[in-house]
Amino acid sequence: MFEDAAAARHPPHSARAGADPALTAAHPLRAAVRLLRDLLLVGTAFLAPAGAGAGAPTPTPAPTAAAGASASPSPAPRDPVIIFLVDNSASLPPLDPEEKRVAALQRMFEVLQGHPYRLILFGGRHEISLDDVARYRNDGQWTDFYYAFVAARDMMRGYPAGTEFRFILLTDALIDPKPADWQEGEAPTTRDTEPPKDPNQPTELRSAAARRTVDLVKEMQTPLYVILVGDPPAGGLSMGDREQAPPLVLALVRAANGPEGGRLAQTLASFFEDNGVLVKKYIFRVRPNEGLKKVEPVVRRIVTPPRPTVELRVFSYMIMPLVLFVLLSLGIMVRSFPGPGDLEIVELGSGEPVHVAVDRLHRLNESGWGRGLSLVGSAKDATATFVYQAPPLDLTGVGLDGVEADPLTSELLPLGLEELRRALHRYANEGSKDEKIHVLNLEYISQNMEPEQAERLLLTSVPDRRRVAPADFLRAKAHLLGNETLRRKLTQPRVYMTTYGRDAQKKELTPGGLARLAQYGFVVKDVSPGGRKDARLVLYYDRIPSLFGLKTWLPDVVQRVFRLRRSSQRIVS
């Protein structure tokens, strides 16, 4: 049911002037006097001063096709046709307290600036006037929105297909249909045709008329803007509705404009005081003392193409701060946890085991506290142990059968690589003739030895070395002096990882290899001498458990920014 206070503004309809048609028929002289009065009013409007309505556009009638069978329909107007539905009942306050009614209406039309428009002045069913500004006298005895929109629908049918329309309804929203108009077959007969004693209680007739009006507006699917003229109803204030629109107006706007005309959208548009593309303001309130100073900007705003101002303000004032707050909160919560792209740098001393655990809160060197890999004191509490050490390769000839070796070979076998280099240089320059020949043969054969053969001889296990000739082992050892690649491969210290638990294993870590510690997966990015100790092991986080896999598909830089980190490196030392 739609609230209505129209009954308070009129006496019972039986007491109104002109309500009895029999009385009018019995007095033809009175009818003639009324006709003469109307003609005088029309003449007064045309003879009004130039300042009151000079330059005001005139209503633009519907384009008509030329007569004849070959006539083609006129093209649709480029701009939308604005159809003004102006309440002409006696209860509506003047548009401007400082202007005459007709002059104020004409000044409002000047705002259109060339837009085509039509005018419908309405009261009751038989109090409707089309495109006649002079009939704006606020002398209607009734207020029936349904027949005003019926007249608008009939007016729209005279335009070519594809014409765009907009409704602008100026009213005080006090519905007061004439009972006799609704007993002529347009609507079901109501049981209650008299205004109730309590004007705040809507009658069945008003409710039926309001429902039919809402259904008609919904069927027409034409944007509807409502300018409420007058003060808000006393006691009818509602929170969140700045215009204090009656329920009937809210229902009409929602029916005509869909979800954009809902209460929430109108509250947002009223709060930002502007039109948008998705959020538009359809209801406006003009108080009696505001007049054209408020009406003209409203009409100008309605006919102006929409701009995404409201959406930008909603995004800037509400959505953007909320998104930033959520992202900041998430960044603070996950700041201590590692993410893809983070680097764990484990510093190792030669021969010193480093025990690490996973996801224990510990202090980081530069960025506060964090989780990931952290040092622990013993293997009992560790998830894995890293060791940087030389490979278990013996180059002293242990296990060889020394009986078959000549004296010079037996002398050179126990030497280290650098000592062997110096000894060969000394014998080549200062040795006897036989020693020089022996050294030259050794260097020649070692330089022409295949790297695979030298590697196989040097990696022979100690129990199997009795089958290797001491001279061949010495030649393979001398081969390392000229083959730096093989020498690094066999003698350079390496990093070994030992994990514990159900999937315990021991493996060598090389650049590009994979390492698994508990729930984390790593890529070995680098193993190199240097740093604050003997070597640096750089591990790159590759697999990290996260909610919905966010840490898998979000870019590393974005995650680092969200976690408020300047660097992706986390040093474990």
CA nearest neighbour of 220 among 178, 169, 173: 169
Instruction: Identify the H or E element spanning 260.
Output: none
For residue 249, what are the CA distances in angstroms to 90, 155, 216, 280, 439? 19, 22, 14, 16, 111
- pLDDT at residue number 122: 94
What are the two backbone dihedrals, phi and then psi, of residue 314, each rounded to the nearest 5 degrees? -60, -45
- pLDDT at residue number 73: 47
Residue 18, pLDDT > 50, answer no
Q: Residue 333 and residue 330: Cα distance in Å, rounded?
A: 5
Question: Do residues 260 and 281 touch, judged by C-beta distance below 8 A?
Answer: no
For residue 38, what are the CA distances in angstroms to 34, 99, 137, 212? 6, 21, 11, 32
Give tens-digit pLDDT for 184-227: 654 444 444 444 433 334 578 888 899 999 999 999 999 999 98
Q: How many CB atoms lie within 10 A of CB 223?
A: 20
Residue 509, pLDDT > 80, answer yes
- pLDDT at residue number 85: 94
Interval 522-544 mean pLDDT: 86
- pLDDT at residue number 489: 85
Q: Residue 159 and residue 322: Cα distance in Å, rounded?
A: 48
- Cβ-in-10-Å burial (0-12, 13-18, 19+) of 65 comes to exposed
Band of pLDDT at residue 52, cut at 50, 70 and 90 = very low
Give the least confident one: 19-23, 181-185, 314-318, 537-541: 19-23
Query: What is the side-by-side strand order in the sheet with 224-229?
Result: 129-130, 117-122, 81-87, 165-171, 224-229, 283-286
Give 546 or 106, the one with higher predicted confidence. 106
- Tell me the sheet residues that pair with 354: 386
Residue 153, pLDDT > 90, answer yes
Question: Do residues 330 and 337 touch, judged by C-beta distance below 8 A?
Answer: no
For residue 480, what are the CA distances in angstroms to 395, 410, 488, 493? 11, 18, 9, 16
Residue 474, pLDDT > 60, answer yes
Q: Residue 127 and residue 139: Cα distance in Å, rounded?
A: 9
Give 204 or 157, the one with higher predicted confidence. 157
Amino acid residing at 211: R
Residue 281, pLDDT > 80, answer no
- pLDDT at residue number 150: 95
CB-based contacts of 182-188 (< 8 A; 24+ apart in sequence): 182/208, 182/209, 184/125, 186/125, 186/146, 187/212
Q: Residue 505 and residue 541: Cα distance in Å, rounded?
A: 20
Listing DSSP states for 308-360 in one string gives THHHHHHIIIIIHHHHHHHHHHHHHHHTTS--TT-EEEEEE-BT--EEEEES-
Tally the C-alpha atoms within 13 A of residue 481's C-alpha that lie toward its C-beta.
Answer: 23
If DSSP codes are grouped into helix, strand and coil, which group holds residue 130? strand
pTM over cut 0.85? no
Instruction: Identify the H or E element spanning 259.
Output: none
Give 448 or 281, the one with higher predicted confidence. 448
High-pLDDT (> 90) share of the chain, %: 22
What are the two backbone dihedrals, phi and then psi, of residue 176, each rounded to the nearest 5 degrees? -155, 75
The two tokens of residue 489 are: 């491969």
Q: Residue 360 and residue 117: Cα distance in Å, rounded?
A: 75
What is the phi-psi region of residue 443: left when phi exceeds 0, alpha when psi lies from -120 to 50, beta otherwise?
Answer: alpha
- Fold (CATH) for 6-19+53-63+73-314: Rossmann fold (3.40.50)
DSSP state of 279: S
Band of pLDDT at residue 478, cut at 50, 70 and 90 = very high
Residue 149, pLDDT > 90, answer yes
Range among 74-78, 113-117, 481-485 rated most confident: 481-485
Give tens-digit pLDDT for 87-96: 988 888 776 6
Residue 362, pLDDT > 80, answer no
The two tokens of residue 146 are: 């349904």
Residue 278, pLDDT > 70, answer no
Listing DSSP states for 191-233 in one string gives S--SPPSSTTSPPHHHHHHHHHHHHHHHHHT--EEEEEESPPP
Interval 345-352 mean pLDDT: 88
- Rounded to a whole number, what is the largest CA-CA distance in the chain? 159
Interval 281-289 mean pLDDT: 81
Interval 315-334 mean pLDDT: 70
What are the two backbone dihedrals, phi and then psi, of residue 499, each rounded to the nearest 5 degrees? -105, 160
High-pLDDT (> 70) share of the chain, %: 65
Mean pLDDT score of the chain, rounded to an integer?
A: 75
Domain residue ranges of the chain, discontinuous segments joined by +: 6-19+53-63+73-314, 335-390+493-572, 402-491
Give the least confident one: 57-66, 163-172, 395-404, 480-489: 57-66
